[in-house]
Amino acid sequence: MILANATNFWARESGSGGLFLMVFLTLAICAALIFGLLQMPSRLRRPVVATFTFVSGLFYVLLWIWPQAQDRKPTDLPANFTESVSFWLSDALPKIANVSNILTAFLLGLGVFSLMRVHLTRLAKKQRDWSFSIVLLVSMISITIFGYWDWAQRQGMTPLQLEEATKIENWTTARLGQSLLFDGLLQAMDAAMFSLIAFYILSAAYRAFRIRSIEATILLASAFLVMFSLLGLADLFWSNMINAAGGSDPASFINNFRLSEIAGFIQKTFQVPGIRAIQFGIGIGALAMGLRLWLSLEKGGVS
């Protein structure tokens, strides 16, 4: 590799004028592209979308298969074509990761927009259960206000001031409101919703888990053994029995029948390979689906 001070397009300093110029140009080009796409006849849209999809996917494919530079320093310059492409790809990756983060964040905005539209409409038309829409909208707006208010108050604080601000006696109205809504209500309700699963599990265990076949019996026995191995008291009781039967000698064969050993055998010999096989299957499926999407063989979604 050659040492140099020069950097490529993607390595422009964050916050620099050059980068902002590039961001502005990119935005302008994207806006023009979207406008052009909207004006385009429907039959022409598909090849354009397919091309963009292919180029976007190609980046990650290249990133995966292209040789990567080892121990690259920030001042290194590429010595040949292979290194040029490698450097370009690795410099582009964080920017593309940022773009994908921003695009994904738009989904949150889209979700908020969609919720607002649905519930404001329901409220305006006084449709069924419109009172719940009021609760949702008031909650959403108030948590947004208190959240940003609290955040704004913390800006510019030194770590020492932040430390002081977190003490309960120093809480401001914004902090109090944010804590009440976020920690006191939202988080508590989140936990409560999740805990409801316990009731369904118990009900299902009582009504549905039946030993109707050999396979079901083996499954049930394995599940019981693994569950018992999680319980310190059961493990202690079982270990005492094993010790009484000669397990105090570490070389004794009976030590293989300790709960932790049995559970470990079940997990390592059956559970892990089983899950790995399922994951391989899912991976192959995802690869096939990814290829179909990348090559735009999926016909739906573009109109």
Partner 1 sequence: MAQVQNEKTLGEKLLSIPRGVLFFILVLATAIPLRCKVTIPNNPAENSANLYRILMSIPEGSTVLVQSDWTNSTRGESRGQFDALLRILMRRNIKFAVLSVGDPQAPQVAKDVVDAINRERAEKGERQYRRWEDWLSLGLFPNAEGTGNGIALNMSNTFATKEESDASGMKRKVMLSPVFQGVESVADIAAYIIVTGTKSSQIAIERLNNKVTMLALVTGVMGPETLTYYASGQLKGMSAGLKGVYDLETMMESGLNVTGSPNQVPAVPGEYPGFPGQTNLAKGTQYILTLHSAIFLLIAAVVIGNIGVILSRKKGQS
Among 55, 194, 301, 303, the residue binding partner 1 under the rule CB under 8 A is 194
Restricting to residues 18-57, name those near partner 1 by CB under 8 A. none
Restricting to residues 236-295, name those near partner 1 by CB under 8 A. 236, 239, 260, 264, 267-268, 271-272, 275-276, 279
Q: Is 142 in the site for partner 1 (CB under 8 A)?
A: no
Tell me the C-alpha distance between 280 and 100, whole Å: 26
Restricting to residues 151-190, name those near partner 1 by CB under 8 A. 155-163, 166-167, 182-183, 186-188, 190
Nearer to partner 1, 7 or 49 (CB): 7
Nearer to partner 1, 40 or 157 (CB): 157
* Least distance CB 135 / partner 1 (angstroms): 19
Region binding partner 1 by CB under 8 A among candidate stretches 26-34, 121-129, 205-213, 284-292: 205-213
Nearer to partner 1, 91 or 142 (CB): 91
Within 8 A by CB and 6+ apart from 253, the residues are none
Tell me the C-alpha distance between 230 and 236, whole Å: 11
Nearer to partner 1, 40 or 202 (CB): 202
Q: Is 299 in the site for partner 1 (CB under 8 A)?
A: no
What six digits make up the tokens of 153? Answer: 């108050």
Among 2, 55, 233, 251, the residue binding partner 1 under the rule CB under 8 A is 233
Restricting to residues 88-127, name those near partner 1 by CB under 8 A. 90-91, 93-98, 100-101, 103-105, 107-108
Number of amino acids touching partner 1 (CB under 8 A): 72
Among 49, 63, 140, 180, the residue binding partner 1 under the rule CB under 8 A is 63
Q: Is 303 in the site for partner 1 (CB under 8 A)?
A: no
* Least distance CB 86 / partner 1 (angstroms): 10
